[in-house]
Structure formats: structure tokens, C-alpha cells
A and B are shown apart, each in its own frame.
Chain A
């Protein structure tokens, strides 16, 4: 089983729609969770951290479910500029930190 798994998509939704992605992780001791955004042929950039209580940043909401070991990202009122690949990121606790990326979910917003 992969340590971090995501639905690769692609998700193709109309502008203004709400879209949600899930990501599952294998290590129950993981403590840090993030969503990164990657535009085509660019480096990944942090979108938001994911906190135990859930957190919101404008149109974006991230949630963590420790019991089921998954995190989610909800995008409301999607914009054309939201088209990108969204990467789920989890740390793997050990003697030092391994930061593991999921394979990413492609999102395409159509006019």
C-alpha cells in the first residue's frame, strides 16, 4: 500500500462549482498534513496546512479525519485559475522527518 494515496482525476468541473478531493495516509503516527498546488511545469507551492480542527482559507477548506486516516480539500465557487494539480503531503514520523507526497489530483475548471 502506498503511504499517501490520492485519486488522480482528472476532475473537470464548470466554473463556480464546488469540488472536493480526498487523500488517505498509511501511518497513523503522522502529525503534519498539507495541501500543495502545482501548476503545469512549475514547482509545487504550499496551498494550506491541515489542522486537526479543520481550517478554512477563503474558498478553500481543509479537514483531517485521524480515525479514518484521510484529509480532504474542498474548493467552493471554483475559478478558472484553480486549474492545477493538487498534492496531498504527509510527514512520516521516524528518527527524522520524511515528507511524502501523494501522486496528485488534476483539476481542470471549464468556463
Chain B
């Protein structure tokens, strides 16, 4: 029962470095999304996708890129990391899309520190 798998779980970067957070789900969900969680801020939506080849911006998309070439994978790219991107990142997927919203299934999170 893999569900939603995120890698890596922990990462330390230097300012200006690039990296990709990987997210894969094996539930054949059309909807996938990335959130970041900072203390006192709750989860904020970065980008989301309603199917392969379709992505859209969330609340805080600046500094992040995404692509969705397959139903299973939804990587999040940081092109030039900044200390403000230090956060916990969660990937989530759901079987339903608008106008219905189904349960979101989350990965275990990726803790990113940018020095």
C-alpha cells in the first residue's frame, strides 16, 4: 500500500542551488497538488494538476515549477533555492476533481532547509 510517496524526506540546500522534490502516487488519481507548511501558516497551495499535461498555480507559486507528464508523477522543482523556501512540503492526490472534491491523500512530507 504505497499511496503517495515523496522523496527525499530531508534535504539541505545552499542558496541558489536547484533541486526537485519527487511525488508519485499509485492510486490512479487525476488530481495532484503540492503544499508548503510553515509555522502558524497552515498549508499553502503551491501548484496543482487535474490530469496529465495540465497544471495550474495555487496560492504561492513563485519560485516553483511543476510538470505532469504522467498520471502517477508530479515533481516540484526549485530552480534557485532561497532561504524563504525553507519549509515542509507535502504532496497530495485525490480521485475527484471539480466540481467534486474528494479526500486528499498526503505523502509523509519533505523537510527542506535552505542555508
Contact = CB atoms under 8 A, between A and B. Distances in A.
Contacts of A6: 42
Which interface class (under 10, 10 to 19, 20 to 34, 35 or more) fits A?
A: 20 to 34
Contact of B48 (A43, A46, A96): A96
Interface in B18-52: 31, 33, 35, 40-45, 48, 50
B99 interface: yes
A103 interface: yes
A110 interface: no
A97 B54 CA distance: 12
A93 B99 contact: yes
B98 A93 contact: yes
B73 interface: no
Contacts of A34: 101, 103
Given A43-B107, A96-B48, A96-B54, A91 B40 contact: no
B101 A91 contact: yes
Interface string A88-111: 010101111111111110000000
A89 B42 CA distance: 11
B100 A32 contact: yes
Q: Which 4 A-B pairs have the closest CB atoms?
A: A103-B42, A97-B98, A32-B101, A43-B106
Interface of A: 3, 6, 8, 31-32, 34, 36, 42-46, 49, 87, 89, 91, 93-104
